[in-house]
Amino acid sequence: MTHQPETRRLWQNMTLFDGRTVHPEPMTVAVCGERIERVCPSAAATGLDGEVMANGGVMTPGLIDCHTHLVFGGRRADEFEQRLEGASYEDIARAGGGILSTVSATRMASEDDLYAQARPRLEALMHDGVTTVEIKSGYGLTTRDEMKMLRVARRLGRDLPVRVQTTFLGAHALPPEFKGNADGYIDLVCSEMIPAVAAAELADAVDVFCEGIAFSVAQSERVFQAAQAHGLPVKAHAEQLSNLGGSALTARYKGLSADHIEWLDEPAIKAMAEAGTVATLLPGAFYTLRETRVPPIDLLRQYGVPMAVATDGNPGSSPIFQLTLMLHMACTLFRLTPQEVLQGVTVHAAQALGLQHETGRIKTGLAADFCIWDLEAPNELAYAVQPGRLTQRVFAGQETL
Ligand code: NIG
Ligand code: FE
């Protein structure tokens, strides 16, 4: 008999969405330590012994929010009111508000303040079933303040039972001290910020905001080159408000994902399909900014581009920290199917973070990150907007709810 170093634990008779499909028959998932040991039909698991942790229920992989800005200072409720009165997101940005107002508040906040403000947002996501989250910088815009934000994100990941992936987004907006000198700011991003962030191992990827109100394709490309020189994968906020070409650029650099993409065109979709770049859909920003141009879902399907779904949780364009709501909204607003949105917050979201060999599926060898829900079937997660249906949350084999 082989020696079993840790007790096997069993989740029996699960209605299982494994990250790709819903299994037609009841399934048993065996966990040993932090990893999934075996996944098999319950009918074939009769000889498998271990401690039974649950019997019956809907199981999904732990949810993955692959695009958030949840570390920030201040609030933007007044800007929300201005937009209700007719001002556009771009008008507010051009007048020095929007992202830049969060930059002032974030620069003034201490690391402990930022941590104290971000932690409840992350805990809200965790209570909604999230076991992996991406957190971006981008409201510091100096080397010191960007690193401060990233340290807060890393600390959250150390303190809480959740996997935190950090993304450096120095090229998010032009800071006021560089007004009229965007190229000068990009010089700073490339020659000082990226090397410092990489040396301190504070970022897992590098993002840019490629847009009329932010940075050009040429400037974004310089950032990508600096990222690659430091061995960091890239991604972009692209084609959100116009079709500038940021997604095609991201595909050229074999980027992890192009995000927002309402204005994406067919050649760029083809390039993304060939590069393996994920299309990350952000229905919260689309909804909050009351956009009308829907991302080209049919073409993304046609070319087989993997689609992820995320909250984009941030103080301006998507002040929403509930990933299951995004499932519902991606179905209603973008006409994705429940199966597509479930893939979008599991297997495809893992791919958007480069973590597809670690999490995002219920599969032998992957981390034991999963959720048990009080539902009859997995598609109910997208159908009803109803908090409180999570009955077990397991992160790296540990029950955390
Ligand atoms: O993902 N598009 C740019 N950046 C963020 C918004 C950040 C903000 O408004 O504070 C986004 O929508
Ligand atoms: Fe964003």
Contact residues of ligand 1, CB 6 A cut-off: 69, 98-99, 102, 209, 237, 240, 285, 312, 314-317
Which two three-digit tokens encode residue 255?
């980027």
How far is C-alpha 281 from the chain's CA centre? 10
Whose CA is closest to atom 6 on ligand 1?
317
CA atoms of 260 and 239, how far apart (whole Å): 7
CA angle 86, 92, 94 (to 5 degrees): 135
CA atoms of 44 and 128, how far apart (whole Å): 32
Q: In Å, how far are 147, 154, 303 from 187, measured between CA atoms? A: 17, 26, 36
Label residue 391 exposed, middle or buried (CB < 10 Å: 0-12, 13-18, 19+). middle
Across 79-98, b (16+ Cβ under 10 Å) vs e yields beebbeeeeebeebbeeebb
pLDDT of residue 65: 99
Pocket test for ligand 1, best of 90, 121, 312 (most atoms within 8 A of CB): 312
Residue 141 has, within 13 A of its CA and on its CB side, a CA count of 28
The pLDDT averaged over each successive group of 10 residues in the chain (401 residues) is 71 98 98 97 94 97 98 95 93 90 97 98 98 98 98 98 98 96 98 98 98 96 98 98 97 98 98 98 96 97 98 97 98 98 98 98 98 98 96 97 81
Q: Are 29 and 11 in contact (CB under 8 A)?
A: yes
Amino acid at residue number 352? A
Ligand 1 atom nearest the C-alpha of 98 is 9
Ligand 1 atom nearest the C-alpha of 260 is 1
- Cα(316) to ligand 1 centroid in Å equals 6
CA atoms of 388 and 94, how far apart (whole Å): 41
Name the CA radius of gyration of the chain, rounded: 21
pLDDT of residue 331: 98
End-to-end CA separation in angstroms for the chain: 35
DSSP for 292-322, written as a single string: -----HHHHHHTT--EEE-----SSS-----
Q: How many CB atoms lie within 10 A of CB 144?
A: 10
CA atoms of 257 and 215, how far apart (whole Å): 17
Whose CA is closest to atom 9 on ligand 1?
316
Nearest of 292, 289, 297 to residue 317 by alpha carbon:
289
CA atoms of 174 and 162, how far apart (whole Å): 32
Which two three-digit tokens encode residue 150?
């990233």
pLDDT of residue 1: 42
pLDDT of residue 5: 61
CA atoms of 368 and 83, how far apart (whole Å): 43
Using DSSP's 3-state secondary structure scheme, residue 5 falls into coil
Ligand 1 atom nearest the C-alpha of 312 is 1
Instruction: Detail the DSSP E strand segments found in 105-198.
Output: 130-136, 163-171
How far is C-alpha 171 from the chain's CA centre? 18
CA atoms of 290 and 284, how far apart (whole Å): 10
Place of tokens 């590098």: 206
For the whole model, what pTM was predicted? 0.97
Using DSSP's 3-state secondary structure scheme, residue 393 falls into strand
Whose CA is closest to atom 1 on ligand 1?
312
